[in-house]
Structure 1
Amino acid sequence: MATNENLPPNVIKQLAKELKNLDETPPEGIKVVVNDDDFSTIYADIEGPAGTPYENGIFRMKLLLSHDFPHSPPKGYFMTKIFHPNIATNGEICVNTLKKDWNPSLGLRHVLLVVRCLLIEPFPESALNEQAGKMLLENYEEYARLARLYTGVHALKPKPKSKTGAISESTTALNVDQTKAVPSSKVPLPAASAPLAGSTASKAPGTNSQDQNAVAVLPTEAAVGGRRRRERQRQYRRRQQRWFPPLQKVR
């Protein structure tokens, strides 16, 4: 396996250019992971194509570049377990592009796209996983079931973290704080206002305790005026009796 130190400078320059292009405009369903200190190992995450048993899966793979790359093809391996005719149990990838059909002019983008196409259209005739190849030809339903099972166990996309837990914790903390508060039955009530001096308010039938603490109502203007009129009438009658004594009856 090569490293940046023993790869030819022109190869390093070409790889750096390709990797930058892959990072800026990634192929559909492929994300390349780069180690700037070692271009000899290229990692990529491949999304399972829709409509295949690998749908909703993320598969990590790697390409190993030899010291005479690009004159010799890279070796490809799946690091994520997968049930596929052209991928061995140790992860080795069998595809003509990485073997007899290799051409030094082929770039990394082309290699990655060919590998993803294998998930769409396997080639059971050149199977590394004989069980998967035979099952694909004879019983596709069973092959698809096992492939989906592998995907669900080993390659399922991680679900985004929910904030429900944080909300629940906050709610719990709020409930705890509320339980620590003074119960309403124990909260001291303000003292009742003292009655006005001279008031003779008494509890009327049907009134509650709050009515007893009510401030005495001052007399209205109408009530005051009525007392004044009655007082003037009494004074007028006294003057009449004094000025016009009653006549005595004639016997």
Structure 2
Amino acid sequence: MFQFDNFGSIQAEPTDHYYLNSNNSDTAKKCLNKHNTLSTIMKEWKILSKNLPDSIYVRVYESRIDLLRAAILGPAGTPYHDGIFFFDILLPYDYPKQPPKVYYHSHGYHINPNLYKTGYVCLSLINTWSGEKNEMWTKKSTLLQILVSIQGLILNERPYFNEPGFGDLRNSTDSEWINRSIRYNEATFVFSCKAMLHVIRNPPQNFEGLVVGHFRDRAASILAAIKDYQEGRESSFEVLPQLKADLTSLHSDFENALSDLNSEAINMNISAESVIEELPIGSSSTTNSAMNNNSKESTESVVKKELPIKSSSISSNSKPNKKGFLGKLVSKFGKCYSSIN
């Protein structure tokens, strides 16, 4: 029933973005409005708009071009399946000389050796972990590479072996390491489910439609997975008493949370900030107000050069234009449609 574009631009920055108060100095604003920096960011937006996989969603902000928010779906075959994991991204004012900063919304759960409770993301590509030279950030690296790396390298089927020094044991046939990995997956699944509940009850700004649609669609699958873990079908081990108790509680919590989604979809209006503008991204507001400085002329010229500027009117009665609209705002989640070329 629900469609949510993989990429979209939002006029106003989200007030719940982790990096909202970053890059506010005059120096940062001036650097971000340089022609080369603007051009690089516009190219990044285009790469994302054309190449995101179906399981990764990104929103950029016309009034703050240095901020992005990404939602990554947990891959099938991993303890993260059916989850939505949110990351706030900041482009430093000297981008792309320095890599983006990435913050993980952990909700207090440590679900992976590379994703800390504090929100710290440990990844060579953003220079927060050591690696070979070709694994570190360069000016030719992209945001798309970062997002795909998080999904593929961090949210994998055996996250226990993401621990430093354990990587070479990933394919070990030693029962001790296999057992450790299985037990880690069991705990990770529980934490992942608890994080899902938090997301259902407190969806990040501009992703409310995705959260409602995704969890309504995956409700049966999530409840079935909890039962499988609870009854020991996910491993050859006896289910630990504490694990069984946690899963019993989770099953009940999920039944309550998921049953509420229908009424939430009907009764909750999407805020005006959730309007997804037509692509190609543009209008003078895209970057003229981005960092609130006086470089209006140079900013407009970069946007017009990189992305043809179009305008569109959004109304609650409009239908999506299959010729190029990324999405249109309607008053109810149950009628939230969007399309992309």
Question: Which range, TM-score by smaller chain?
Answer: 0.5 to 0.7
Q: Which amino acid is 1:5 matched to?
A: K
- Aligned counterparts of 1:41 and 1:136: Cα–Cα separation in 2: 40
Unpaired stretches in structure 2, ≥5 consecutive residues:
1-21, 131-135, 167-175, 198-213, 218-260, 267-341
Alignment of 1:112 with 2:156, yes or no, is no
Query: What's the counterpart of residue 203 of structure 1?
Result: none
Unpaired stretches in structure 1, ≥5 consecutive residues:
128-134, 167-251
Q: 1:22 aligns with which of 48, 52, 55?
A: 48
- Aligned counterparts of 2:79 and 2:94: Cα–Cα separation in 1: 37
Pairing 1:91-130 to 2, within 5 Å after superposition: 91-99=119-127, 101-117=136-152, 118-120=154-156, 122=159, 123-125=162-164
**How far does residue 109 in structure 1 lie from its aligned partner after superposition?**
0.7
Q: What secondary structure, in the 3-state scheme, does the structure 2 residue paired with 1:5 have? A: helix
Backbone CA RMSD of aligned residues: 2.8
- Aligned counterparts of 1:68 and 1:35: Cα–Cα separation in 2: 18
- Aligned counterparts of 2:60 and 2:88: Cα–Cα separation in 1: 11
- Aligned counterparts of 1:34 and 1:146: Cα–Cα separation in 2: 34
Alignment of 1:159 with 2:195, yes or no, is no
Percentage identity across paired residues of the two chains: 26
TM-aligned CA distance change 1:108 to 1:136, over 3 Å? farther
Q: 1:59 aligns with which of 66, 73, 85?
A: 85
Q: What secondary structure, in the 3-state scheme, does the structure 2 residue paired with 1:42 have? A: strand
Q: Check the 8 A contact 1:86/1:95 in 2, yes or no.
A: yes
Q: Check the 8 A contact 1:57/1:152 in 2, yes or no.
A: yes
| Count of residue correspondences | 157
**How far does residue 31 in structure 1 lie from its aligned partner after superposition?**
0.6
Q: Check the 8 A contact 2:29/2:93 in 1, yes or no.
A: no
User: Once superposed, which parts of structure 1, at least 4 consecutive aligned residues long, lie more than 4 Å away?
Assistant: 135-138, 160-163
Q: Scaled by the length of structure 2, what TM-score is found?
A: 0.41
Query: What's the counterpart of residue 147 of structure 1?
Result: 188
**How far does residue 83 in structure 1 lie from its aligned partner after superposition?**
0.9
Q: What secondary structure, in the 3-state scheme, does the structure 1 residue paired with 2:216 have? A: coil
Q: Which amino acid is 1:158 matched to?
A: F
TM-aligned CA distance change 1:30 to 1:44, over 3 Å? same
- Aligned counterparts of 1:40 and 1:126: Cα–Cα separation in 2: 35
Q: Which amino acid is 1:145 matched to?
A: E
Pairing 1:1-251 to 2, within 5 Å after superposition: 1-2=22-23, 5-6=29-30, 7=32, 8-81=34-107, 82-99=110-127, 101-117=136-152, 118-120=154-156, 122=159, 123-125=162-164, 139-155=180-196, 157-159=214-216, 161-162=261-262
Q: Scaled by the length of structure 1, what TM-score is found?
A: 0.55
Q: Check the 8 A contact 1:66/1:72 in 2, yes or no.
A: yes
- Aligned counterparts of 2:101 and 2:144: Cα–Cα separation in 1: 15
Q: Which amino acid is 2:117 matched to?
A: T
TM-aligned CA distance change 1:39 to 1:145, over 3 Å? same
Q: Which amino acid is 1:2 matched to?
A: N
**How far does residue 142 in structure 1 lie from its aligned partner after superposition?**
2.1
TM-aligned CA distance change 1:28 to 1:74, over 3 Å? same
**How far does residue 136 in structure 1 lie from its aligned partner after superposition?**
8.1
Q: Check the 8 A contact 1:136/1:143 in 2, yes or no.
A: no
Question: Which one has a bigger Cα radius of gyration?
Answer: 1
TM-aligned CA distance change 1:149 to 1:162, over 3 Å? same
**How far does residue 111 in structure 1 lie from its aligned partner after superposition?**
1.1
Q: Check the 8 A contact 1:2/1:67 in 2, yes or no.
A: yes
- Aligned counterparts of 2:178 and 2:101: Cα–Cα separation in 1: 27
- Aligned counterparts of 1:28 and 1:136: Cα–Cα separation in 2: 33
Query: What's the counterpart of residue 312 of structure 2?
Result: none
**How far does residue 162 in structure 1 lie from its aligned partner after superposition?**
4.6
Q: What secondary structure, in the 3-state scheme, does the structure 2 residue paired with 1:125 have? A: coil
By relative contact order (CA 8 Å, sep 6+), the higher-ranking structure is 2
Q: Check the 8 A contact 1:124/1:136 in 2, yes or no.
A: no
